[in-house]
Structure formats: structure tokens, C-alpha cells
Amino acid sequence: MGGQTGLCGAFDAAAADFMALGRFLWEPIGAGAVSVADLRPGERVLDACCGAGASAIPAARSVGRHGLVDAVDLSESMIGELWWLSKDLPQLRAHRADVARWSTGDYDVVQSVLGLSCFPDAAAGAEHLISLARPGGRAVFTIWRDGAVQEADRHLRRAIAQAIGVPPPQGRTSRAPGGLGEAGVYAAWLRERGLVDVEVSVNPLALTMTPETAWLVITGSGLRAVLAKVPVHALEPVRECYLASLREEGLAELDATTLIGSGRRS
């Protein structure tokens, strides 16, 4: 759930907030993916764009001491956190590396939770990851469902415009890659990548937006990249405008629903 390039580099600067947000957001999302992966004792797993291990750690517990989980992320801070959190899991190996260049293969399962959007080309990234599974091996990729996290993004951009008097930044930084956030479209896209027996399941999640959690959604996720051009002295006014905007619209919960796509390499 950390990153490879572009907006995902925001996670290096956001490590502490990313970890604080984990139990509310990343951990339930990661647990959902591992449940769909249906990992078995002794299996070999690649966890791509692993972040601090929200899916890699439960995967390591599922495969047991005779299994293996290679967890790969470019963020040094995320890999450092994962190394610390997994000290009692010798079957989990944390690697600071570019998974787009990862060449070890023959995995029973390749999984990536919210990592596809971190590739410059999501289709090429998915195909590379699938190629690292053994023939008949499984691939499990989690993406945001259409609309997920969108309200936090919208309120943040409005707050920036109000606080510093400039038009809000264009585009979204938290989204499904390539407009794939609808289950049927996503399933067809996975088949085009060469997977068979494709299934897409919905993992619903509603995040309670207390003031603390609501701001962590910004500073502990890819949305942090939106703040990159905000002057330091304006960050607190932006935060105040953001929280006020949420209150004005009565946004008490944030939709953080994901789609979990799975299939076998033919």
C-alpha cells in the first residue's frame, strides 16, 4: 500500500501518519485482500507495494513458518516500519526495491493492495506482477471502488482554495487506475491481463470521520500529495477549513470501499 513512483512517494514523508491511520483504514483493507487470497500454509507470496505490511503481515501469518512472503516497496520509511513490525515473522522478508523491476518469480500468490495506481502504466504493472506468479498461481489486486475517498479529496481541495485564495488543484490522487472502479469493468480488465477464473468482490468500509481521523485521511494517504504546494504557514488554516467543510455538509463517515479482484495465471 506504499508506493513506487509519483504520488506514492508521499508515503515516505507521511510514515508516522500512515501508521496512525493504519488501524482505521489500511489494516481492514489489507485483511480483506488476504481473506480473498485464501493463503495456505507453506505458500510463497509476493506482496507488491506493501507499505508497512497491512496485507504482508497477515499473509505471513497465514502461510506460517514454512511459507514465504516477499514484501516489496520503494519507501525506505515504510520498509523500516515493516521490518520492525515483523521481527517475530521470519517468513516475511521486507525489501526496499522497485517491484516493477522485481525478477524473482514462481510465487503461489502475487498480491497488491492499492498498489496498481502507483505504476505509471497500471496495465503493464499488473501484467508484470502476474508474470511473477507460477502457472496456475493466483493474483489478487485491490483497488478503490468508484467514489471511495472522493469526498475527502473534494473537501480538501475546497479548503485549499478557501485558505490560500487560489483555485483548488485539478485531478484526483486517490482513485482506481484507469477508471476501473466498477466491478464489471475491473473483471474484464483483469481477464485482458491474462487471468482466468476472475472474480471481483466488494470490501465495504465506512470510516468514522472524527476530526483526528479526518485529517489523518489526508496526511496519512496519497492525498498528502495535494498538500505539496501549500505553504507551511497555510497548513493549519487549510486543516481548519477542511474540518469546517466536513461539518457544514454533515460528513460523519467516509466511503472507503475497495474492489478485490482475483484470478489465476493461465
The CA distance from 67 to 265, in Å, is 20
CATH number (domain holding residue 195): 3.40.50.150
Residue 80 lies in a domain: yes
The confidence band for 227, taking pLDDT boundaries of 50, 70 and 90, is confident
Residue 133 lies in a domain: yes
Residue 134 lies in a domain: yes
The confidence band for 118, taking pLDDT boundaries of 50, 70 and 90, is confident
Residue 186 lies in a domain: yes
Q: Is the pLDDT of residue 217 over 70?
A: yes
Question: Cell triple for residue 237?
Answer: 488554516
Residue 118 lies in a domain: yes
pLDDT at 178: 73
Residue 84 lies in a domain: yes
Question: Cell triple for residue 173?
Answer: 490522487
pLDDT at 167: 72
Percent of the chain at pLDDT above 70?
Answer: 91
In the chain, alpha helices (H): 10-13, 15-22, 26-37, 56-63, 76-85, 122-131, 150-164, 183-192, 211-219, 235-249
The CA distance from 261 to 263, in Å, is 7
Greater pLDDT, 15 or 62 = 62
Region 80-92: what's the mean pLDDT?
96
pLDDT at 228: 82
Q: What are phi and psi of 126, to 5 degrees?
A: -65, -40
Question: Cell triple for residue 16?
Answer: 508516522
Q: Is the pLDDT of residue 1 over 60?
A: no
The CA distance from 78 to 83, in Å, is 9
The confidence band for 225, taking pLDDT boundaries of 50, 70 and 90, is confident
Over residues 123-134, the pLDDT tens digits come to 999 999 999 999
Over residues 232-254, the pLDDT tens digits come to 999 999 999 999 999 999 999 99
Residue 99 lies in a domain: yes
Burial class of 185 by CB neighbour count within 10 A (0 to 12, 13 to 18, 19+): middle
Q: Is the pLDDT of residue 205 over 70?
A: yes
Percent of the chain at pLDDT above 90?
Answer: 83
The confidence band for 8, taking pLDDT boundaries of 50, 70 and 90, is low
Region 176-187: what's the mean pLDDT?
89
Over residues 26-78, the pLDDT tens digits come to 999 999 999 999 999 999 999 999 999 999 999 999 999 999 999 999 999 99
Q: How many domains does the chain have?
A: 1
pTM exceeding the 0.85 threshold for the entire prediction:
yes
Residue 242 lies in a domain: no
pLDDT at 6: 47
Looking at every residue in the chain, the average pLDDT score rounds to 92
- For 17, the domain range is 6-146+174-206+257-265
3-state secondary structure of 56: helix
H or E segment to which residue 125 belongs:
helix 122-131
